[in-house]
Amino acid sequence: MRRAVVIGSNGPSDLSPLRYAARDAEGIGQALSGPRCGFQIVTAPAVSDAFAVKRLIIDAVEACEPQDTFLLYFSGHGVLDKGSLFLLWDNTSLERLLGSALPVAEIMNALAYCRAENKLFVLDCCHAGAAISGYGFKDASAVPVEETVKPENFLVLMASKRLERARELDELQGGFLAFNIRSALTESFYDVVADDSSRLSVQQLKRWLEQRAREYNRSHSAEQVPVPYLFGQQKGELFLTIDDSDWITNEVPWSDGSSLVVLPIRPDYGRAFCLAKFPVTNGQYKTIIGTEPEGEHFVVDPKAKSGKWTGPFHPWQVPAFAGPDQPVVCVSYQEAQKYARAVNSMQDGLAGDRETFLPTTSIWDFAAFGTDSPPRRPKAWMSKTSEVHHQASSPAAIDIHGARTNGLGLADMIGNVWEWCAPGESPLARVTLGVPDERPEVRGGSYLDDVSRTPVSLTIHALPERERTRHSDLGFRIAGSVPVEILPETVQIRLALAKRLDSGPGLRTPATA
């Protein structure tokens, strides 16, 4: 299990409280608990004292098993007294440090006894120093870790050295260390990882933080920030993110002949999220809907070295598009929804109560990118599979051999055909809770594009006819949900440890509602 205690305090109100420490801790907790990192997060209650926080840390430490990864993050005030570092809490009194603050030495001692195979302590603390306390200076003074940290599988990441100070920065709306850790785990992830994998090690994070500090200092000569540093040794890499290979692929047979892959997303109301292994094919569409799609095809003018969409185009009458195992194209958003509704209404005797719908953008993005915030850089998706079908004249047949299949067991998430996605909110939220009905989007790129250079996520406004667009490179795949109890026990256990998506309230009813 991946466990984390994330705590932050702006400090006592009578001691020049920090502005962003509590917010920094909240942001770090959100990043660590997301599907990319998969940590089970424990935080301190809004109203608590230093002793309660210490008890919370000890309880979390004692719950760890040898195979676990444990992370402790603190953001807030720190004060040096007689050579010892104390972390200040909301009700701390400087006159009673032993009785109202968190002695770092005691925390380090608890971590030394933690049984987790990998341990990381991120110390982002402030030193409320006399004349400068009102400016929100931070001091991540070096704890005497040489005496308390065993030099294996135990790392301490510190915001600065013992006598250095780091500022809270208004332009970042937070502390430098917290802002850049959060960025490395979210929008800047693919700038940090060196091998384009889904794994981010502490060493990679350290190099990124050093680079960011030096870049900031070059452009802010009057507001220098210290370079964060790392202490400790490891037997092997300590990773902050989950690898695709940690997930056990499980496929569920579906009413239209599809295989839906269970996604490592926390079940909602006892139901697991699934996504079709392949886009819907011509053969499936013909069986369920019956009528041939009609749309437009992109025709290139060799003389002008450009092209335009022209129609009518009937894909089933063109051999390069008509194969029964090729993705169906020239389908509008409404027609894709019609297909999902038809499959949802089928009664075929399959075990378990299945719900069928179009994937939301957040589900699709997580399945393709490992996060429900789609990245904007090509290397974020090009490394997910060994092959991508793009820069071609027609769609490829579905990938039954696995060359275009990602680590979650899903084929052609990038390339082949663009795919319709429903808005991020659940249908129940839109229909019954009054959430504004957002527009659908398309994802994945197509055989026409060079997806190594162009975005693979587009809003509806990029399509000439919005939801009614029927292009020869535009198809879809279905999503679904199944009761957790029909899945193998090993999958149920992993789903119980998975995280909910950040976007939307989740699935509470079929998207065909």
CATH topology of domain 2-242: Rossmann fold (3.40.50)
Q: Is the pLDDT of residue 280 over 60?
A: yes
Give the position of tokens 């295989």. Answer: 259
CATH class, range 261-292+318-497: alpha beta
49-58, 368-377, 441-450, 496-505: range with lowest mean pLDDT: 496-505
Q: What is the pLDDT of residue 46?
A: 67
Domain ranges of the chain: 2-242, 261-292+318-497
What are the CA-CA distances from residue 223 to residues 157, 168, 402 (Å)? 22, 10, 52
Smallest CA-to-CA distance from 76 within 85, 89, 92 is with 89
In this predicted model, which residue has the larger pLDDT, 18 or 43? Answer: 43
Average pLDDT of the segment spanning 24-28: 92
User: For residue 311, what is the enclosing H or E element?
Assistant: strand 306-313
In this structure, what are the phi and psi dihedrals at residue 169, rounded to the nearest 5 degrees?
-115, 120
Q: What angle do CA 506, 420, 295 make, to 5 degrees?
A: 160
Q: Are 64 and 5 in contact (CB under 8 A)?
A: no
Q: Binning pLDDT at 50, 70 and 90, where does residue 288 land?
A: very high
Q: Cβ atoms within 10 A of the Cβ of 289, count?
A: 16
Residue 192 has pLDDT above 70, yes or no: yes
Statement: the pTM of the whole predicted model exceeds 0.85 = no
- Across 247-251, 289-293, 371-375, the highest mean pLDDT is recorded for 289-293
Query: What pLDDT, in 10s, does the model give residues 425-483?
Result: 544 333 333 444 468 999 999 999 999 988 899 989 999 999 999 999 999 999 999 99
Q: Token pair 């957040």 is at which residue?
A: 362
Per-residue model confidence (pLDDT) at position 154: 80
How far is residue 176's CA from residue 226's CA, in Å, rounded to a whole number? 9
Provide the mean pLDDT of the chain: 81
Please write the tens of the pLDDT for every residue from 327-386. Answer: 999 999 999 999 999 999 986 767 678 899 999 998 998 899 877 666 777 877 887 888
pLDDT at 340: 95
DSSP state of 41: E
- For the chain, first and last CA: distance in Å? 37
What is the dihedral sign for C-alpha 73, 76, 82, 83?
A: positive
CB distance 44 to 53 below 8 Å: yes
Give the per-residue pLDDT at 385. Answer: 84
- 378 in Cβ contact with 390 (< 8 Å): no
| Mean pLDDT within 177-200 | 81
Chain-centre distance of CA 343, in angstroms? 30
Nearest to 294 by CA among 274, 306, 310: 310
The candidate with the shortest Cα–Cα distance to 266, out of 502, 510, 497, is: 497
Beta strand 229-233 with 174-175 is: unpaired
- Which range, of 60-74, 122-136, 209-223, averages the lowest pLDDT? 122-136
- What pLDDT is stored for residue 411 in this prediction? 95
Q: How far is Cα of residue 213 from the mean position of the Cα atoms in its chain?
A: 25
Query: When comparing pLDDT for 371 and 252, which is higher?
Result: 252
List of long-range contacts for 427-436, beta carbons under 8 Å, 24+ apart? 427/357, 427/509, 427/510, 427/511, 427/512, 427/513, 428/508, 428/509, 428/513, 429/504, 429/505, 429/508, 431/513
